[in-house]
Amino acid sequence: MKKIAIYDVDSKIPNLALMKISAYHKQQGDDVEMYVPLFKDSYDKIFASKIFNFSDGTLLDEEKMIIGGTGHNMMKTLPQEIEDLQPDYSLYNCPHNIGFTMRGCRLKCSFCVVPQKEGKPKPYNTIDEIWQQRDSNFIMLLDNDFFGNPEWKKRIEEINKYNLQVNFNQGLNIRNIKEDQALALASVNFTNTRATKKQVTFAWDDPRHEKLIHKGIKRVTDCGLKPSQMAFYVLIGYHSTEAEDLYRVETLRNYGCDPYVMPYDKFDDYQKKFTRWVNHKAIFKSVAWKDYKSGERKKIINENQKMLFA
């Protein structure tokens, strides 16, 4: 029996690849645990995953760890015998279900590595195959382009057949969503990541796509979605100006949608500040951007607090 360590550097949700590695080694009779740096020299193998380029990887050790993840090596993949396994959800004490119904993407966004890494869209798993923990009706899909899956209609039918709550974690493409796709989306019980709110996420990454965004919003609302049920990833700092970033965020706010900013450069002062302003909803709803960036936010927040406790 070998002692195996799993090192998750930066995942925001349970790491699917690491859960499959854990499942494989437990099948081999190995002892698997989350990595503890203090016991580094006691492990027979250490598997590490780094998803993001910007996250801190100072504890990674090329000599003693088997390292994967897009933030470390974009082209490194799991051996097929591990890829085909069901994940070990106990690694994260995760009670729900996570997986891909498709891989690849039909789009070629210049800031995204998925087309280069995974190629053209292709079916991957059915909902029945992903839904392994049947005590939970919540399923999180990691598809980068759900409606780009040639078999998306079958997946929608399965979701409705099993009456599942579904979270489209990576967001959906609203720029070219068709009427039948919008109707299909309205038919399922979509939810946010925590399954606390009926909400689906789209994206407005490029200011030049404005007409398509307006068209897409009209299409999905005509098919039954409410603006309050729609969140939007908004990429800033990638071929966009501050004025264009603000315009997109305020346009979505005026619709009644929920913008969520994704900075292209997390170390840029402007992008960090704009991200905090939008994503901290209490501030976003009470302080204008011009006041927030000028430092007036503290004065306004303090005055509001005084009024609340007066």
CA distance 41 to 264: 37
Do residues 68 and 32 share a domain?
A: yes
Asked whether residue 273 carries a pLDDT value surpassing 70, the answer given is yes
pLDDT digits (tens, 9 = 90+) for 177-192: 999 999 999 999 999 9
Residue 97 CA to residue 293 CA, distance in Å, equals: 41
pLDDT over 60 (residue 8): yes
Q: At which of 68, 89, 110 does a domain end?
A: 89
Whether 25 shows a pLDDT value over 70: the answer reads yes
CB half-sphere exposure, 260, CA atoms < 13 A: 12
Q: For the chain, what is the domain count?
A: 2
pLDDT tens for each residue of 76-90: 889 999 999 999 999
Helix (H, G, I), strand (E, B) or coil at 296: helix
Cα 32 to Cα 30: distance, rounded to the nearest angstrom = 6
The domain boundary, picked from 89, 109, 132, lies at: 89
* Strand pairing category for 165-168 and 138-141: parallel
pLDDT tens readout for residues 196-232: 999 999 999 999 999 999 999 999 999 999 999 999 9
Instruction: Provide the β-strand partners of residue 261.
Output: 234
Q: 278 is in which domain, residue-wise? A: 90-309
Q: Rounded CA gap, 274 and 246, in Å?
A: 9
Token pair 């015998």: residue: 81
Whole-angstrom distance, CA of residue 50 vs CA of residue 59: 11
- Chain segment 131-174, per-residue pLDDT in tens: 999 999 999 999 988 999 999 999 999 999 999 999 999 999 99
pLDDT of residue 308: 54
Whether 225 and 130 share a structural domain: yes
Q: Note the pTM of the prediction, 2 decimals.
A: 0.88
Virtual torsion, Cα 66, 70, 72, 75, nearest 10 deg: 70
